[in-house]
Structure 1
Amino acid sequence: MSERLRLIGHEADDLPVISALMQDAAVRVDDIAFDAKARRFALVANRYRWEADVPSRTRSALRFDGVAKAQRKGWPVAGDTVLALLAIRPEEGGVTLDFAGGASVRLEAECIDVVLEDLAGPWGTRSTPNHDD
């Protein structure tokens, strides 16, 4: 049995599941891109595997197609900065990705077209993300 996840979402009701699976994903700023010509926003991250029985992470890709515009807010300057993805929220006319520290990306799109796909097998980790504060 494969431990790799692949989910496709086409409506706002699909986003809470994808958001929960991507919560606490660690992503470098340089691994986030918007291709205006292709109307595609994508990122590659080390996703914490909340669905697993043991603490582990895996390399995952998250892609939104049909994106007309991407607007960043509170964005770090350094490309090697690592952001923690907190939530993916549907909004009127698009989707917002919220990161720890106040950074966010608002994607304008007429419809939801998202794919979450694990790119490699999992590896163990000693720590579990904590949200006590």
Structure 2
Amino acid sequence: MSKSLKLYGQTEDDLTVLSGLMQDAAVRVGDMAYDPAVRRFAMVANRFRWEQADAGRKRQPGERVRTGLHFNSVDSVALKGVDRGQPDAMLDLLAITWQAGADGTGNVTLIFAGGASVRVAVECIDAVLNDLSSAWPARARPAHENDDRSEEERPETVQDGDASWN
């Protein structure tokens, strides 16, 4: 059995690593939560284990593992294309991005297939990724086609005025 991951993210480079590890994670809408009292956004996902798949096993379907990811020092959360009224709806995570503000604050954006996104406004990057279960065989290895769309043709991420978590 390979080791479970527990990683902390405090820089933009750290967030890039977490994004790569979380790419293609399957997330149930009901497994995302924001607690403004403790200023934390958290989610649990079925993460594809890219760190194992890239270890010379290109023809095998790979593994998935239940993984928790949370962000601390959260000021607000905004949603685009995510219906919290449908907690069993599934989202496929494509990337996690960072947009720094002028004062050290910024936005972490979770970008999902189909144009959905979650913008997490934070005081600073303070993230934790933690594998919560043993791995199990994946049904298939995620595959991606090249995205040749222009910036104008790509799905938008959360903008001011989109739905807030509250």
Q: Could you tell me how far 1:126 is from its partner in structure 2?
A: 3.1
Cα deviations by residue, 1:44-92 (Å, 9 ceiling, x for unpaired) = 0000000114500000000100000000011134110010010000112
Quote the Cα distance in structure 2 between the aligned partners of 1:50 and 1:97: 18
**What SS does the aligned partner of 1:121 have?**
coil
| Aligned-pair identity (%) | 53
Name the structure 2 match of 1:32.
32
What amino acid maps onto 1:3 in structure 2?
A: K
Quote the Cα distance in structure 1 between the aligned partners of 2:71 and 2:139: 31
Quote the Cα distance in structure 2 between the aligned partners of 1:2 and 1:52: 8
**Matched positions, count:** 133
Name the structure 2 match of 1:87.
95
1:114 paired to 2:114? no
Name the structure 2 match of 1:132.
145
8 Å contact 1:28–1:83 — kept in the other structure?
yes
Name the structure 1 match of 2:68.
61
Q: Per residue, is there more strand in 1 or in 2?
A: 1
Name the structure 1 match of 2:22.
22
What amino acid maps onto 2:15 in structure 1?
A: L
What amino acid maps onto 2:126 in structure 1?
A: D
Cα deviations by residue, 1:18-61 (Å, 9 ceiling, x for unpaired) = 00000000010000000011100000000000011450000000
Query: TM-score scaled to structure 1, two decimals?
Result: 0.95
What amino acid maps onto 2:78 in structure 1?
A: Q
Quote the Cα distance in structure 2 between the aligned partners of 1:126 and 1:85: 17
8 Å contact 1:3–1:121 — kept in the other structure?
no
Mark the runs of 5 or more structure 1 residues left unpaired by the alignment: none
Name the structure 2 match of 1:70.
77
What amino acid maps onto 2:35 in structure 1?
A: D
Mark the runs of 5 or more structure 2 residues left unpaired by the alignment: 101-105, 147-166
